[in-house]
């Protein structure tokens, strides 16, 4: 084995202290007496990165030596969250580090608090990718996560006069100690131009792609350690100008134009599109997708052939997982690389391709299903459009042979011919993959019966389910040390690697002493959040109140406004003096709205308006308070989940593919109020109906209601409470007398109510009454909370990854001897 000896990266307190001081001095040119908080953080991060790298280098050696089959996870988004705390846990050196710093009069928590996070994703999909990285690493699966190194991640959200304001996220501003640039790992990616078809001397049909621009992608690697394991890498591509292309001798006279070209090239990885589940069809987004997919496939081909392996065996070496359709142009790109660049015949190339890819769908929302117009795709990727047409014509031919009708064929075609012709990326991904999965039982079922129905009939064996999971080490062990210690004290540390062993907690559910300690931990976490809330918003809240929390992207289908309508109802009741049965509650919201999504932004404005009204009213604020925490991200999430009593998972049934926040809350002892949507269904199955506050229509009932012609206005007319709450929106009592502000929401609910809030409203309110009742019996509540945690073992992303390995990838862990 090459590289650093273990002695250079020791894990004792003394080793860490020495290394830390060394980094401070030789890397940053600082002495302890003259440092900024960022220096201290950076020195510690570099100290830990060395230790991570030492492990990681061993795992690359083993993966290579053992010639193991591996996984490439392709995702346009990642949300890793802060690395330092997680890596300390993974290396088992939290205490050693704390003590080393204490001897220098420094505080680990302050240093941890310095770390920002790479906001390279929008929400659930990006965070899932990072949970999967953690579990792949922990399980020792030979794997690599490919993505885009956006210079500006998801915008930073500020609240100004109640509205969301976006500012740029300069996450690289004070440096990124976790990444390693690999200038030698870079590839050229072509764009635009035209193709030339000809038959060569050996009578082989050949296609040349003559692009009109080229861009270079360079690898930036971040080691992802995994718990007591050797880790994997997340490899993100940054776009740069191709030197020879722009700075050739011919160009030298026009230096400024050459530089401008360089700037334009770098544009590709400049910024993450902040749209979540709502597509905008932007040219630059397609370029981003193709750019990272092409770099990644070229990289895999290099890794594969490097050791003398045959390209025709590519699919034996790699399973490539497509994280939604965002990387699905990979299907055409692999075909292009195999056929055009490596001269493999079409049929064989197609076999290889279809045995390589697997596709995960994350949404049924029509507005989130990616489509690219034929004209745009043809302009940016002319060769790929030809390949897609070729794939399509062979596929449709197959259908015709099977006797499919014209209607069916039009429905299944990769090209949508209604309106402007466009490529249906979900169809491309489905046709080009050997497995397709949804992310919860319900979602996978709906995927098969709705969006990809025809394909499921054609290839029933292709479809499967892998229910999502979360990195429980990050979201419990790192972010809720109080709870983690209490759990470990009772049942040992086994749950860190085998979450199912949480079931051993069941026997303590009714133990009064244990219950008291359980509550003490929650109270401590709530007290900490209380301080944070005051710091961030100026609002003082009382940690003894019920903390009722909804944090996630703001979207109508998620129904943040349903929670608001209920809060308004409570407000009106309190004003009427009818305060019986209301448990003192703090309602906490956080989440970003897509900058162009007007109604979502208006929902934020509504929350802040209700917050102002409620929090300033002496009569009301003793019983309820409302908080909107700005700039929800992974770091903030880690403060919020541990402090929640009640988790709001109230999307309209059939719309939330899985949800993963629901899992993080329940694992931290929150009870859930929720609909039968996404993974809520499975959570309820696991924790027991009696420990889950269920309300609302089922997916089937929702559809039934719609079929029968849903008339929300009827609910307004016939239901006194609904009328009062809705009228309140436009009464002028909110937002300093502005009666018009919330009219768009008001009209939306009265006229369409596409997510059937009004129909589910009574059921929601009734369930809230029950929540209050149970809350008033703290022993009962605590018992349910303990049982929730004890029964959440299924929802670790370790289990999800194991499912992917067994059901889809056929990959096994690699054992690494130190
Ligand atoms: C096409 C583009 C506009 C687009 C960009 C981002 C489309 C979708 C997305 C993001 C989707 C997303 O985050 N989906 C969520 O994936 C989670 C992980 O599977 C699920 O838990 C969650 O229910 C689903 O909404």
Residue 221 Cβ contacting ligand 1 at under 6 Å: no
Residue 660 Cβ contacting ligand 1 at under 6 Å: yes
Residue 677 Cβ contacting ligand 1 at under 6 Å: no
Q: Round to whole Å and give the CA distance between 251 and 271.
A: 29
pLDDT tens string 731-759: 999 999 999 999 999 999 999 999 999 99
Residue 678 Cβ contacting ligand 1 at under 6 Å: yes
Q: For position 1, what pLDDT does the model report?
A: 40
CATH 3.40.50.2000 holds for 66-81+116-163+176-467+802-809 = yes
Question: Among residues 522, 605, 664, 784, which one is catalytic?
Answer: 664
Question: Among residues 555, 558, 635, 768, which one is catalytic?
Answer: 558
Q: Is the pLDDT confidence value at 780 over 90?
A: yes
Question: Among residues 362, 472, 473, 784, which one is catalytic?
Answer: 362
Structure tokens at 601: 């932004």
Section 537-559 average pLDDT: 98
- What average pLDDT is seen over the chain? 95
Residue 362 Cβ contacting ligand 1 at under 6 Å: yes
Phi and psi at 465, nearest 5°, equal -125, 140
- Give the SS3 label for residue 668: coil
Q: Round to whole Å and give the CA distance between 501 and 55.
A: 27
Distance from the alpha carbon of residue 416 to the mean position of ligand 1, in angstroms: 22
Same topology between domain 66-81+116-163+176-467+802-809 and domain 479-795: yes
Q: Taking phi first (over 0 means left), then psi (-120 to 50 degrees means alpha), and beta for anything else, what does residue 44 get? A: alpha
Any catalytic annotation for residue 430? no
Section 220-227 average pLDDT: 96
Question: Among residues 149, 238, 384, 552, which one is catalytic?
Answer: 552
Q: Round to whole Å and give the CA distance between 437 and 606.
A: 37
pLDDT tens string 370-390: 999 999 999 999 999 999 999
Residue 135 Cβ contacting ligand 1 at under 6 Å: no
Strand 357-360 to 433-438 pairing: parallel
Any catalytic annotation for residue 566? no
Q: Which of 17-21, 53-57, 495-499 bottoms out in mean pLDDT, i.e. has the lowest?
A: 53-57
Q: Which atom of ligand 1 is nearest to the CA of 126?
A: 13
Distance from the alpha carbon of residue 124 to the mean position of ligand 1, in angstroms: 6
Listed by start position, the domains of the chain span: 1-65+84-115, 66-81+116-163+176-467+802-809, 479-795
Distance from the alpha carbon of residue 365 to the mean position of ligand 1, in angstroms: 10
Q: Round to whole Å and give the CA distance between 150 and 284.
A: 13
**Dihedral sign computed on CA atoms, order 115, 121, 123, 126:** negative
Residue 278 Cβ contacting ligand 1 at under 6 Å: yes
Distance from the alpha carbon of residue 656 to the mean position of ligand 1, in angstroms: 9
Q: Is the pLDDT confidence value at 300 over 80?
A: yes
Q: Which atom of ligand 1 is nearest to the CA of 325?
A: 1
Section 773-783 average pLDDT: 98
pLDDT tens string 312-334: 999 999 999 999 999 999 999 99
Q: What percent of the chain has pLDDT over 90?
A: 91
Helical segments of 367-424, H only? 374-380, 382-401, 406-412
State which of 123, 279, 360, 656 you would mutate to test the pocket of ligand 1, scoring each by most atoms of that ligand within 8 A of its C-beta: 123
Q: What percent of the chain has pLDDT over 70?
A: 98
Distance from the alpha carbon of residue 186 to the mean position of ligand 1, in angstroms: 29
Q: Is the pLDDT confidence value at 268 over 60?
A: yes
Any catalytic annotation for residue 552? yes
Any catalytic annotation for residue 362? yes
Atom 22, ligand 1: residue with shortest CA distance? 659
Any catalytic annotation for residue 553? yes
Q: Which atom of ligand 1 is nearest to the CA of 468?
A: 19
State which of 122, 125, 286 you would mutate to test the pocket of ligand 1, scoring each by most atoms of that ligand within 8 A of its C-beta: 125
Report the predicted TM-score, pTM, of the whole model to 2 decimal places: 0.97
Atom 16, ligand 1: residue with shortest CA distance? 125
Distance from the alpha carbon of residue 126 to the mean position of ligand 1, in angstroms: 8
Q: Round to whole Å and give the CA distance between 329 and 334.
A: 9
Q: For position 2, what pLDDT does the model report?
A: 42
Q: Which atom of ligand 1 is nearest to the CA of 326?
A: 1
Angle (CA) 757-758-759 rounded to 5° is 95
DSSP 28-69: T---TTS--HHHHHHHHHHHHHHHHHHHHHHHHHHHHHTT--
Answer for the pair 426, 369: CB distance below 8 angstroms, yes or no.
Answer: yes
State which of 278, 286, 368, 594 you would mutate to test the pocket of ligand 1, scoring each by most atoms of that ligand within 8 A of its C-beta: 368
pLDDT tens string 663-705: 999 999 999 999 999 999 999 999 999 999 999 999 999 999 9
pLDDT tens string 630-656: 999 999 999 999 999 999 999 999 999
> What is the fold, at CATH topology level, of the domain defined by 479-795?
Rossmann fold (3.40.50)
Any catalytic annotation for residue 313? no
Q: For position 59, what pLDDT does the model report?
A: 82
- Give the SS3 label for residue 255: helix
ipTM of the complex: 0.97
Answer for the pair 686, 693: CB distance below 8 angstroms, yes or no.
Answer: no
């Amino acid at each position: 084995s090459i590289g650093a000896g273990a002695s250079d990266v020791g894990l004792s307190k003394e080793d860490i202290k020495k290394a830390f001081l060394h980094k401070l001095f030789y890397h940053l040119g600082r002495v302890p007496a003259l440092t900024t908080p960022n220096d201290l953080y950076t020195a510690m991060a570099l100290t830990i990165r060395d230790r991570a790298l030492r492990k990681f280098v061993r795992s690359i050696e083993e993966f290579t030596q053992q010639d193991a089959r591996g996984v490439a996870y392709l995702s346009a988004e990642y949300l890793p969250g802060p690395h330092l705390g997680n890596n300390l846990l993974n290396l088992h050196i939290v205490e050693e580090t704390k003590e080393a710093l204490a001897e220098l009069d420094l505080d680990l928590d302050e240093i941890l608090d310095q770390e920002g996070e790479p906001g390279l994703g929008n929400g659930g999909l990006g965070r899932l990718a990072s949970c999967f990285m953690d579990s792949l690493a922990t399980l020792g699966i030979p794997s690599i996560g490919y993505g885009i190194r956006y210079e500006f991640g998801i915008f930073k959200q500020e609240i100004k006069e109640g509205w969301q304001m976006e500012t740029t996220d300069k996450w690289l501003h004070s440096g990124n100690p976790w990444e390693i640039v690999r200038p030698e790992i870079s590839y050229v990616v072509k764009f635009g131009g035209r193709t030339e078809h000809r038959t060569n001397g050996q009578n082989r049909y050949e296609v040349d792609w003559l692009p009109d621009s080229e861009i270079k992608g360079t690898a930036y690697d971040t080691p992802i350690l995994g718990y007591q394991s050797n880790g994997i890498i997340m490899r993100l591509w940054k776009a740069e100008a191709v030197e020879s292309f722009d700075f050739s001798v011919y160009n030298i006279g026009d230096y400024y134009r050459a530089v401008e070209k360089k700037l334009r090239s770098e544009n590709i990885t400049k910024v993450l599109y902040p749209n979540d589940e709502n597509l905008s069809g932007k040219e630059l987004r397609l370029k981003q997708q193709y750019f990272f997919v092409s770099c990644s496939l070229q990289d895999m081909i290099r890794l594969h052939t490097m050791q003398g392996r045959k390209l025709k065996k590519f699919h034996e070496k790699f399973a490539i997982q497509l994280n939604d359709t965002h990387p699905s142009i990979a299907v055409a790109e692999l075909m292009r690389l195999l056929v055009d660049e490596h001269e493999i015949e079409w049929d064989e190339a197609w076999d290889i391709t279809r045995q390589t890819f697997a596709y995960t769908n994350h949404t049924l929302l029509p507005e989130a299903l990616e489509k690219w117009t034929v004209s745009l795709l043809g302009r940016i990727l002319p060769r790929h459009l030809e390949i897609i047409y070729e794939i399509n014509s062979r596929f449709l031919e197959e259908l015709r042979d099977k006797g499919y009708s014209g209607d069916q064929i039009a429905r299944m075609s990769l090209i949508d011919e209604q309106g402007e012709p466009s490529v249906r990326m979900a169809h491309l991904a489905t046709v080009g993959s050997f497995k397709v999965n949804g992310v919860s039982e319900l979602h996978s079922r709906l995927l098969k019966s709705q969006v990809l129905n025809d394909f499921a009939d054609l290839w029933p064996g292709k479809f499967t389910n892998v229910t999502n999971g979360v990195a429980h080490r990050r979201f419990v062990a790192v972010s809720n040390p109080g709870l983690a210690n209490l759990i470990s004290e009772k049942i040992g540390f086994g749950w860190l690697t085998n979450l199912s062993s949480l079931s051993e907690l069941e026997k303590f559910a009714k133990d009064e002493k244990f219950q008291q300690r359980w509550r003490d931990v929650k109270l401590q976490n709530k007290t900490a959040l209380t301080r944070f809330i005051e710091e961030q918003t100026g609002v003082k809240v009382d940690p003894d109140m019920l903390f009722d929390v909804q944090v996630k992207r703001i979207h109508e289908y998620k129904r943040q406004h349903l929670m608001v309508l209920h809060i308004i109802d409570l407000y009106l009741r309190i004003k009427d003096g009818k305060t019986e049965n209301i448990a003192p509650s703090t309602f906490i919201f956080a989440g970003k709205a897509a900058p162009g999504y007007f109604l979502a932004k208006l929902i934020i404005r509504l929350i802040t308006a209700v917050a102002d009204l409620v929090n300033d009213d002496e009569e009301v604020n003793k019983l309820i308070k409302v908080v909107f925490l700005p700039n929800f991200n992974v770091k903030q999430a880690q403060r919020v989940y541990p402090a929640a009593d009640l988790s709001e998972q109230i999307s309209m049934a059939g719309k939330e593919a899985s949800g993963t926040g629901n899992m993080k809350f329940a694992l931290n002892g929150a009870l859930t109020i929720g609909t039968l949507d996404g993974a809520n269904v499975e959570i309820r199955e696991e924790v027991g109906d009696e420990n889950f506050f269920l309300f609302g229509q089922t997916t089937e009932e929702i559809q039934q209601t719609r079929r029968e012609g849903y008339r929300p206005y009827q609910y307004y007319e016939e239901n006194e409470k609904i009328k009062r709450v809705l009228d309140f929106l436009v009464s002028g009592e909110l937002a300093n007398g502005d009666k018009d502000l919330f009219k768009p929401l008001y009209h939306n609910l009265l006229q369409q109510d596409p997510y059937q809030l009004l129909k589910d409203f009574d059921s929601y309110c009734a369930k809230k009454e029950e929540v209050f009742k149970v809350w008033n019996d703290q022993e009962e509540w605590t018992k349910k909370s303990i049982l929730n945690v004890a029964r959440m073992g299924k929802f670790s992303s370790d289990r999800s990854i194991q499912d992917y390995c067994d059901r889809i990838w056929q990959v096994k862990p690699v054992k690494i001897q130190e």
